Structure 1
Amino acid sequence: MAYWIDPVILLFALTLFLLMSGFPVAFVFAGVALFFALITDELGLHVLEMLPYRTYGIMGNVTLMAVPLFIFMGLILEKSKMAEGLLISMGKLFGRIRGGLAVSVVLVGAILAASTGIVGASVVMMSLIALPLMLKQNYSPALASGSIAASGTLGQLIPPSIVLIILGDQMHLSVGDLFKAAVVPGLILIGLYILYILIVSFLNKEVAPAIISDESYSVVLQEAIKEIIPPLLLIGVVLGSIFAGIASPTESAAIGVMGAVLLAVGKKSFSVEMLRYAAIETVKLTAMIFMILIGATAFSLVFNELGGGDMAMEFFAGDMADKWMFILIAMLVIFILGFFIDFIEIAFVVVPILVPIVASFGIDPVWFAILIAMNLQASFLTPPFGFALFYLKGAAGDKVTTAAIYKGVIPFIILQLAALLIIVLFPDLIYLLGK
């Protein structure tokens, strides 16, 4: 078949159109790859002969084995009522200062990110528990919903993050190195969120009023410490074993699963039904991720055979000799794609195209991976298709309007871009915990 337009451009255009139409992601990638293999004379179906070998390699990948384990760990913690106890105790602890409830949401979001890493679960839990309390205390619906959505997405960056595991696999990097490098950017983001909330609350008393309580502060502090210590111990064991080089991310994920089960037993919330729920949901989520990966692999085979990889190399290396221009364009493309498609598709399709170009410019791949992770985190908040916005609206119902949610997340998107800029300008910050 003769093409009026370059087939690589047609390939991407058709893929984006089908994704925007709501077709299942994995089948879009695989279907478009099969379609172009069939209609292109130079290719034919033989271009997909390597797919079974690639699929076998994906299924036998030890790094990706950590994905279902961390998902399982997060689901066990979600059902153990740990988040509920954390939110209530932290809300009492910080509620006496203006913006205190929103600050407690950010801190709980950070703890949930480091212990569960599942964005949907974190946002839904905080929407059900914290949002009604914040609205009852006359918090601005925009600030309340914005802080919940933004805090829930911290799981994209703060280790153990599924995004970092996938990026490590796609960019052929050590997941342990990525986990270590993501800690400081995560802390910068948390600091920016809290600073913003405190400044806004200070400037406008009605946005986030303080809560007056008769309860003894020492009692509140003791309750908060009891709720915080168990998840912090679990985080310390999981991440500490990786950072110390004692265990691989996959092995530490297995330790995390055991720790999550013990925490659930300690809270007297463990049951066979909980185990069954976590197992079934883990299989569903893992199957979805791996189906997308297999579809994306088929897509990349056809994309490279059509000359897409060479076109990308020529564009970035020939048309722009400056590595900073490449970084700017790459970040901009990922940010814009985040408005329309999920982080998994971006990680599996766009990132492999960028990897050889990163190497050709001599860019630090760990630093570049952290920039991508921070950028992908913003994709969860960007209207109209930010997943955190859907989770929040679905859990909140009529408590907040869609307009209030959009208004609330915009400052946090700006803060995420500010954090990204800080890491761009000061790349050594990611190595504060060592290389």
Structure 2
Amino acid sequence: MELFGSLQGMPIETATLWMFGMLLVLLVTGIPLAFVTLLVALIFALGFFGPMAVPLITSRVYSFVSSFVFVSVPMFVLMAAILDRSGIARDLFDAMRLVGGRLKGGVGIQTIVVAVILAAMSGIIGGEIVLLGLIALPQMLRLGYDRDLAIGVVCAGGALGTMVPPSIVLIIYGLSANVSIGDLFLSAFIPGLMLASFYAIYVVARGYLTPGAAPAIEGPPMPNADKIRLMKGLILPILVVIAVMGSIYGGIASVTEASAVGVMGVLISTLVRGELTFDLVRGACMRTLQTVGMIVWIGIGASALVGVFNLMGGIDFVTALITGISDNRTVVLLFMMAILFVLGMFLDWVGIALLTMPIFVPIVRELGYDPVWFGVVFAMNMQVSFLSPPFGPAAFYLKSVAPPDISLGIIFRALLPFIAMQVLALAILIIFPGLAGG
């Protein structure tokens, strides 16, 4: 009670420092972000406003979890979980040998193309990196690829699910920023392909400029019969992508409805392949429950914390603080990017989006920027966070399936050139906003 009493009447500047200091201390203890934000929200709600503020928190949480668009999140996660347990990704990777051919760096190009298609099917990065780590990494190492190059291609390619629609990152941003998710998907398409092309150009350049870094596949030419057999592996994934993205871009279905179409498409694909079993569906559902449960709890905690902070007048204080950095709107934007970059080194992207976007998006609108364009820029920034040390999740996903001699330190060092390319892509998006409809 003494703690609650000491909060009453505290200036917002001091209260903000106490709030974020308490967040950092509790996070360091290892308590999950969702429970930390809920606990801090409850402490400050009771301390500033008393028990009457609790219903306000619950109403804000309800508005978040009751959003119809949020239904698309478990659907896309379920798609990824089914892909993870089927042979669709493996056959797709084999079929992409037709793309790489005998080009130096061909298997790297093959991996990036597969990553783009998988991202367009599900929008989840964890499963993609694990799949590519199991399928593509051993093949590149066996062919004599530079180890760092092979690691970077798998991690950076697998993280493209952040940018390539239907990205879960864009869906969560759209929910928190109250902007059209369909517009976000449309605006993110070209930047996502641009980033993938940067990776591909880098792989080819390394192949031709660094002897032995990315050798071509040797041996006799592939017979036409084998080419036709491999092409069959492309049919089902391409049909699923067309069904999902075509229905959204064609105005036939909303994002939520398209996610259900995607799940049905992947289930039919596994049925056609003879892989649809009770164990596969059960395992995919359990994986979906775990992933979405984490997202929902983080969303509940972040919504509660932002709601309380807003009642305290904190959002107005932070807005004035950020906009007071400079009269130049570009400097303010870069300052926000820096904040997101630093947060991305320590926090999960779901928490970052739900904690910062209620503050950042009104500033973005006030500065005259398009919030849809800012959503694409935010997703590109999160690309960097997925790879950045010390807690870049892409490295940990790959480590879980990489050979024992590949340490986290090796993985993070291998990712540095790809982080540089992501920063370059982010800079291009800021300089040329038209690439994302800004």
Q: Same fold (TM over 0.5)?
A: yes
- Check 1:165–1:351 CA distance in 2 against 1; reply closer, same or farther (3 A cut): same
Q: Secondary structure at the match of 1:270?
A: coil
Pick aligned residue for 1:47 from 35, 48, 53: 53
Once the two structures are superposed, the pairs formed by residues 316-327 of structure 1 within 5 Å of their partners are 316-327=322-333
- Check 1:97–1:48 CA distance in 2 against 1; reply closer, same or farther (3 A cut): same
Which region of structure 1 is more displaced relative to structure 2, 171-180 or 15-24?
A: 15-24
Partner of 1:393: 399
Once the two structures are superposed, the pairs formed by residues 199-278 of structure 1 within 5 Å of their partners are 199-278=205-284
Partner of 1:329: 335
Pick aligned residue for 1:6 from 8, 11, 14: 14
Partner of 2:186: 180
Offset from partner CA, 1:269-318 (integer Å, 9 cap, x none): 11111111112221221121111111111111222233220111211333
Partner of 2:122: 116
Tell me how far apart the structure 2 counterparts of residues 344 and 254 of structure 1 sit (CA, whole Å): 22
The answer on 1:364 being equivalent to 2:370 is yes
Tell me how far apart the structure 2 counterparts of residues 181 and 45 of structure 1 sit (CA, whole Å): 44
Contact 1:117 1:155 in 2 (8 A): yes
Instruction: Provide the TM-score with structure 1 as the length reference.
Output: 0.94
Partner of 1:150: 156
Contact 2:143 2:215 in 1 (8 A): yes
Q: CA deviation at 1:215?
A: 5.0
Pick aligned residue for 2:196 from 190, 194, 201: 190
Partner of 1:384: 390
Tell me how far apart the structure 1 counterparts of residues 266 and 426 of structure 2 sit (CA, whole Å): 32
Contact 2:151 2:414 in 1 (8 A): yes
Partner of 1:36: 44
Q: Secondary structure at the match of 1:341?
A: coil
Offset from partner CA, 1:50-102 (integer Å, 9 cap, x none): 12222322232111111011111221222221111122332465252211111
Amino acid at match of 1:330: M
Partner of 2:33: 25
Tell me how far apart the structure 2 counterparts of residues 11 and 416 of structure 1 sit (CA, whole Å): 32
Which region of structure 1 is more displaced relative to structure 2, 387-396 or 421-430?
A: 421-430
Contact 1:47 1:301 in 2 (8 A): no
Which region of structure 1 is more displaced relative to structure 2, 275-284 or 250-259?
A: 275-284
Tell me how far apart the structure 2 counterparts of residues 423 and 13 of structure 1 sit (CA, whole Å): 33
Pick aligned residue for 2:171 from 165, 172, 191: 165
Which region of structure 1 is more displaced relative to structure 2, 194-203 or 299-308?
A: 299-308
Q: CA deviation at 1:116?
A: 2.0
Partner of 1:286: 292
- Check 1:136–1:92 CA distance in 2 against 1; reply closer, same or farther (3 A cut): farther
Tell me how far apart the structure 2 counterparts of residues 165 and 331 of structure 1 sit (CA, whole Å): 19
Once the two structures are superposed, the pairs formed by residues 336-351 of structure 1 within 5 Å of their partners are 336-351=342-357
Instruction: Provide the TM-score with structure 2 as the length reference.
Output: 0.94
Q: Secondary structure at the match of 1:398?
A: coil
Amino acid at match of 2:253: A
Tell me how far apart the structure 2 counterparts of residues 413 and 318 of structure 1 sit (CA, whole Å): 30
Q: Secondary structure at the match of 1:216?
A: coil
Contact 1:19 1:341 in 2 (8 A): no
Q: Secondary structure at the match of 2:49?
A: coil
Tell me how far apart the structure 2 counterparts of residues 217 and 192 of structure 1 sit (CA, whole Å): 31
Partner of 2:302: 296
Pick aligned residue for 1:128 from 121, 124, 134: 134
Q: Secondary structure at the match of 2:401?
A: helix
Give the gaps of 5 or more residues in structure 1: none
- Check 1:281–1:396 CA distance in 2 against 1; reply closer, same or farther (3 A cut): same
Which region of structure 1 is more displaced relative to structure 2, 131-140 or 366-375?
A: 131-140
Q: CA deviation at 1:148?
A: 0.1
CA RMSD after TM alignment? 1.8
Partner of 2:110: 104
Tell me how far apart the structure 2 counterparts of residues 379 and 22 of structure 1 sit (CA, whole Å): 20
Which region of structure 1 is more displaced relative to structure 2, 271-280 or 338-347?
A: 271-280
Q: CA deviation at 1:204?
A: 0.8
Amino acid at match of 1:408: A
Q: CA deviation at 1:424?
A: 1.1
Offset from partner CA, 1:223-260 (integer Å, 9 cap, x none): 34221222112111111111111110001111111101
Q: CA deviation at 1:33?
A: 1.4
The answer on 1:141 being equivalent to 2:151 is no
Q: Secondary structure at the match of 2:251?
A: coil
Q: CA deviation at 1:401?
A: 2.8
Q: Secondary structure at the match of 1:321?
A: coil
Contact 1:8 1:307 in 2 (8 A): no
Tell me how far apart the structure 2 counterparts of residues 278 and 120 of structure 1 sit (CA, whole Å): 14
Tell me how far apart the structure 1 counterparts of residues 186 and 250 of structure 2 sit (CA, whole Å): 10
